[in-house]
Structure 1
Amino acid sequence: MPTAHIDTFARDNLPPPAQQPDFLFDLPELQFPAQLNCATELLDRHVREGRGDRLCVQGPKDRWTYGDLWERANQIANVLVNEMGLVPGNRVLLHAPNTPMMVACWFGIVKAGGIVVATMPLLRAKELKAILEIGQISHALCDASLTEAMQEAATASVRLHQIRYFNSAAPDSLDAAMLARVGTFDNVDTALDDTCLIAFTSGTTGVPKATMHFHRDVMAICACWPRSVLKANADDVFIGSPPLAFTFGLGGEVLFPMSIGASMVLLEKAGPPQLLDGIRDYGATVVFTAPTSYRTLAARGAELRATKLRKCVSAGEVLPASTRQLWREATGIELIDGIGSTEMLHIFISADEHNARAGATGKVVPGYQARVVDDAGNPVPVGTVGKLAVRGPTGCRYLNDVRQRAYVQNGWNLTGDAYLMDADGYFFYQARTDDMIVSSGYNIASPEVEEAVLQHPAVAECAVIGVPDEERGQIVKAYVVLRAGHTADADMAQQLQDFVKKTVAPYKYPRAVEFLDKLPRTQTGKLQRYRLRNLE
């Protein structure tokens, strides 16, 4: 489509058409107009149709209606264009914790035709520098609490020339500039295939990649999984733990509630204690968080049963069957599991709470197709482990990255996950394709062993990898975090090994056990097995 971008960097650095996946738009709700700005559809539409007084976003310091958010986003767009010199297509770094002002900035950037590059608040200057360079970023909006890292990164950047800090009383802050700007703005009439966000992968392999997503993609994820699986309504109150720079959080905590006129609660810190307080204090009904958080929160089941919570979504890493059972017994709520990826933008395989099966991620989400394939890309028989391949209205577009060729093959996105599919179309996660352990000729999936170890009452967390062994090729090694009151010694290691032998096939037991105080995780909570491999 004819682009509205004056700065065409994003379009110029898309993968060649032959390296992009096939895109599917079979559903009626996936038929989008040629000119599409997702801010118009997700925010302006509610004001235009008379819902401006509905509650939209709240946090410890703010409580905004759709009209409030609309006005602030318009003011930010005016500052970006009229004071900071933004032109459509410029990339804008958005560095902040989850706050209403971060959401206002997100929509202000998109309204002005800019491209949002949101970053995790815990990133340091070194990591920000890399993102600034890869995205060739010229503008930044940053929470004042993160000034130090932002300034250090900016000093090393040759392109970043405009920074405004917000949530600040300083006279040169974004907040001050907004006061001088009107609360109306004519959104840039972007093309449906203009890039509106660049999301960086969270680094489970140690090397993050920049993924590009269009205005069309944002609206597509709102049209698929939320409608067919989540089935929330305008009276729901959404809350979650993932940072908004993580697309799981952006969708679950902002895009999906706004697509139906619901409201969201944003917490700057959202560990299990803060999340529980937020669910109770704000009357949250829908929560998005990772399996490790659900496992911790389950101990507070009696308190959770007294809240309005009714839908609980798990993604970001594999959901152990034991965690699903623990949560159901503690709260009476069946978890909604799902698998998505930064490359695909959000969830593409899932099952609602009424059709969940223990151990299964779910079925393919309407609008998408998925299959399990061999190394040549051919579908494998039902019940056979292979590589997960998926395609739909969203797909992988790395920004100028040779790894595009590995992720997209023959029009399909290869997610890097090993799965099997049963005769009913349910997909069962086995491992990341690089997490399969081959020991004495046996294929052993790390998550299966982790699940077995986690069933022991002394275990809080567990990660399993394969380590080299002269006799067996590899052996299974478990890294274990114990619950309080248990001793990390040889006797405990032997107890765990014996326990696993009774739970799964004995050849799968961890021949080596090492105890840690905590497991290495990304800022989004994903386990970083590569860091454990590096220890070896």
Structure 2
Amino acid sequence: MERSGHLDTFARDHLPPPEAWPEFLLDHPAVRYPARFNCAAELVDGAVAAGHGERPAIWTLAGGKPVAISYRELQGRVDRLARVLTEDMGLVPGNRVLLRGPNNPAMATALLATIKAGLVAVPTMPLLRAAELKPILDKAQVSAALCDVRLRDELEACTRPGPSHCPTLAQVRYFNDEGPESLESLARGKTVPFPACDTAADDVCLIAFTSGTTGSPKGCMHFHRDVLAMCDLFPRSILDVRPDDIFCGTPPLAFTFGLGGMLCFPLRAGASTVLAEKLTPATLLETIQAARATIVFTAPTFYRQMAALAPGYDVSSLRHSVSAGEALPDATRQLWKQATGVEMTDGIGSTEMIHIFISSAGAQVRRGAIGKVVPGYEVRIVDEAMRPLPPGTVGRLAVRGPTGCKYLADERQANAVKQGWNLTGDSFLMDEDGYLYYQARTDDMIISAGYNIAGPEVESALLQHEAVAECGVIGVQDEERGQVVTAFVVLRPGFPPGDDLVKALQDHVKRTIAPYKYPRVIRFVDTLPRTETGKLKRFALRTL
């Protein structure tokens, strides 16, 4: 590894041992980076140096009208805040900083300033409670936090004696606050420019904790070069991002899907992004219309709800609509395309890999497939012994590229990386043309009476019925069949639950996919348990 720019060496000291790392593929022309750089400086200072200083970087909507923050103004905000971090707070390169806030310019500035100062950003979802923040703070040994003042209550519980107390958390500062000790107040008197910390390409700049669909969250450590690699592969080769593109969407900046799509991708291209809080399907459509957005990122659930509303809005500016975070049912893809004329760009990534590594767009889309491997990455479908499987065979997805799994002091590293390949925990099928078809999470494959049944396939079939608004499918233990396919269904208004509807839905599934896959048990519920990023919490369905 290159000489570290960190004085606090915790992050490098707690990387997995080198023999547990995946193999990194760094020979693609787009990811041949110098040995030393700071990714935040590349994203912001690099854009200004490239002549984008007066162009919009971040948009907000004030009274429904877009208001721009230019690249030069963003650069000044980042540099002043970096001085607060180093001068007023006394932080040194390598210290971990918890970041807490919704998608707004202050949160984006805090992220970029933290990384530019050589600190390690630990962004967290806005709705996490103190009991959920504590294991993150403890595991990453966080000494400082930057928080939106509206979210202070849960974080302050971690600073006081009690079950959520975190002894390492020595100082907390607030933004979107006009008090005398607020970050904004402290930053006003600072000078610019701020020289970026001389970090190595393989210094850790980000610890992204998984969103917890499978229980205990894991800290995924990412290098400065990883942040640039996510910007220089998927968005360039699949989305063909241009400086005049305007991004918008729902994924939080604390989620790597959002960190890329809502901030880093547009900055790397000299494009711009609309940062908006608490979007609904209707207000996201309003945002697309008002900002003339060209690229939108959100989850399948949102697209399904937006499809019904889209005819009431002008979304003709859209070039790409990107879906990730969970499986995209074909029924949702077709509804969106019929409503907008835009072909969905599906993708699969992971917090461990930092962003999307399988995707296709436009004319390259093949129905039923997520897409092909993104240039710069390699994938295989393998069996339990890591032997490659032939086309058309369902197996475990293995991937490698310039990014990869590096858990923070976690024994689960051994399960996530084998023989230099990252194992995502997904089962896939690859056809002879290289298109990849998602089957299920490997731990969500339902085995019933000897049949392997993928829950997402059953969900996709159910969603094609007019009565179904949302659904989740799992296997429930059964003495006779091993597991029975069990569906949890949220109904659309006007469809009363009852035995007749259960039978109608079962018959519909039998007609749509192989009859043995039909849900033998259907339970009607008001809502489904989801993470803050919109992913279905399958493990939580087991407790309903």
Give the TM-score normalised by the residue count of structure 2.
0.97
CA shift for structure 1 position 304: 4.1
Map of 1:479 onto structure 2 = 488
Residue number in structure 2 paired with 1:251 = 260
Aligned sequence identity (%): 57
What letter matches 1:283 in structure 2?
Answer: R
Which of 71, 89, 97 aligns to 1:84? It is 89
Segments of 5+ residues of structure 2 without an aligned counterpart are none
Structure 2 residue aligned with 1:114? 119
SS at match of 1:396: coil
- 1:113-152 equivalences in 2 (<5 Å): 113-152=118-157
Query: Which residue does 1:389 correspond to in 2?
Result: 398
**What secondary structure sits across from 1:313 in the alignment?**
strand
Q: Does 1:222 align with 2:222?
A: no
Deviation at 1:199, TM superposition (A): 0.2
- Aligned ranges for residues 430-509 of structure 1 at < 5 Å? 430-509=439-518
CA contact (8 A) 1:121 1:146 kept: yes
Deviations 1:11-61 (A, max 9, x none): 000000110100001211211111110012110012223321110002135
CA distance in 2 between counterparts of 1:306 and 1:177 reads: 41
Residue 271 of structure 1 deviates from its aligned partner by: 2.2
What is the CA-CA distance between 1:169 and the residue it aligns to?
A: 1.1
Residue type of the alignment partner of 2:390: P
Quote the offset at 1:368 in angstroms.
0.2
Aligned partners of 2:315 and 2:340 also within 8 Å = no
Q: Structure 1: which amino acid aligns with 2:43?
A: L
Aligned to 2:276: 267
Aligned to 2:423: 414
Indicate if the aligned counterparts of 1:453 and 1:499 stay in contact, CA closer than 8 A: yes
Deviation digits for residues 395-447 of structure 1 (CA, Å, limit 9, x no counterpart): 00000000000000010000000000001000000000011111111111111
Per the alignment, residue 33 of structure 2 pairs with 32
Structure 1 segment 190-339 matched on structure 2, within 5 A? 190-339=199-348
Counterpart of 1:60 in 2: which secondary structure?
A: strand
**1:320-362 deviations in Å (ceiling 9; x for gaps):** 1111111111100000010000000000000012210111010
C-alpha distance in structure 2 between counterparts of 1:526 and 1:78, whole Å: 37
Distance 1:114 1:475 in 2: 49
Aligned counterpart for 1:103 among listed residues 99, 104, 108? 108
Task: Point out the more displaced range, 270-279 or 119-128.
Answer: 270-279
Listed one character per residue, the Cα deviations across residues 457-484 of structure 1 (whole Å, up to 9, x for unaligned) are 0000111100111111111111000001
SS in 2 for 1:140: strand
Work out the number of aligned pairs and report it: 535
Per the alignment, residue 6 of structure 1 pairs with: 7
Question: In the alignment, residue 176 of structure 2 is paired with which amino acid?
Answer: N
1:511 lines up with 2:512 in the alignment: no
Kept in 2, the 8 Å contact 1:168–1:175? The answer is: yes
C-alpha distance in 2 between matches for 1:465 and 1:38: 41
Superposed displacement of residue 534, structure 1: 2.8
Matched residue, 1:58? 59
Separation (CA, whole Å) in 2 of partners of 1:121 and 1:476: 34
Report if the CA contact (8 A) 1:304-1:331 is conserved: no
Asked if the contact 2:471/2:488 (under 8 Å) is kept, the reply is yes
Distance 2:509 2:48 in 1: 57
For the Cα contact (< 8 Å) 1:72–1:104, is it kept in 2? yes
CA contact (8 A) 1:129 1:154 kept: no
Choose which of 168, 177, 181 in structure 1 pairs with 2:186: 177
SS in 2 for 1:94: strand
2-side partners of 1:390 and 1:136: how far apart?
A: 30
Q: Which amino acid aligns with 2:46?
A: R
Per-residue CA deviation, residues 37-96 of structure 1 (Å, 9 max, x unaligned), is: 001211001222332111000213563100111000000000000010110000000100
2:488 alignment partner, SS class: strand
Single out whichever of 46-55 and 414-423 deviates more from structure 2: 46-55
C-alpha root-mean-square deviation of aligned residues, in Å? 1.0
Question: Which amino acid in structure 1 is aligned with residue 317 of structure 2?
Answer: K
Instruction: Give me the whole-angstrom Cα distance separating, in 1, the residues matched to 2:430 and 2:122.
Output: 36
Q: 1:348 is paired with a residue of what secondary structure?
A: strand
Give the Cα–Cα distance (whole angstroms) in 2 for the partners of residues 193 and 338 of structure 1.
26
Residue deviations 1:204-234 (CA, integer Å, cap 9, x gap): 0021100000000011111111111011210
Contact 2:286–2:313 (CA under 8 A) maintained in structure 1 = no
Paired position in structure 2 for 1:17 = 18
Q: What's the secondary structure of 1:388's corresponding residue? A: strand
Q: Is the 8 A contact 1:324 1:358 kept in 2?
A: no
CA distance in 2, matches of 1:306, 1:442: 43
State the distance in 1 between where 2:329 and 2:192 align.
48
Deviation larger for 92-101 or 304-313: 304-313
Counterpart CA distance in 1 for 2:315 and 2:500 is 40
- Give the aligned residue type for 1:58: W
Shift, 1:147, TM fit: 1.2
Partner of 1:59: helix, strand, or coil? strand
Contact in 1 for aligned 2:285/2:315 (Cα 8 Å): no
Q: CA separation in 1, counterparts of 2:106 and 2:217?
A: 26
* Paired residue secondary structure (1:63): strand
Q: Deviations over 1:137-174 (max 9, x none)?
A: 00111001111111112221211112110111111111
8 Å contact from structure 1 (residues 386, 418) kept in 2: yes
Partner Cα distance (1:7, 1:121) in 2: 27
- The residue type paired with residue 71 of structure 1 is G
Off by >6 Å, runs of 4+ in structure 1: none
1:361-382 residue CA offsets vs partner (Å, 9 max, x unmatched)? 1000000000100000001111
Q: Is the 8 A contact 1:318 1:429 kept in 2?
A: yes
Counterpart in 2 of 1:73? 78
Output the CA distance in 1 between the equivalents of 2:294 and 2:192.
Answer: 31
Secondary structure at 1:434's aligned position in 2? coil
Q: Secondary structure at the match of 1:418?
A: strand
CA displacement at 1:494 relative to structure 2:
1.1
Shift of 1:175: 0.8
In the aligned structure 2, how far is the partner of 1:135 from the partner of 1:497?
47
Contact 1:370–1:390 (CA under 8 A) maintained in structure 2: yes
Within 2, Cα distance between the matches of 1:454 and 1:306? 24
Distance in 2 (CA, whole Å) between partners of 1:440 and 1:234 is 54
1:279 and 1:307 in contact (8 A); partners too: no
Give SS of 1:230's match.
coil
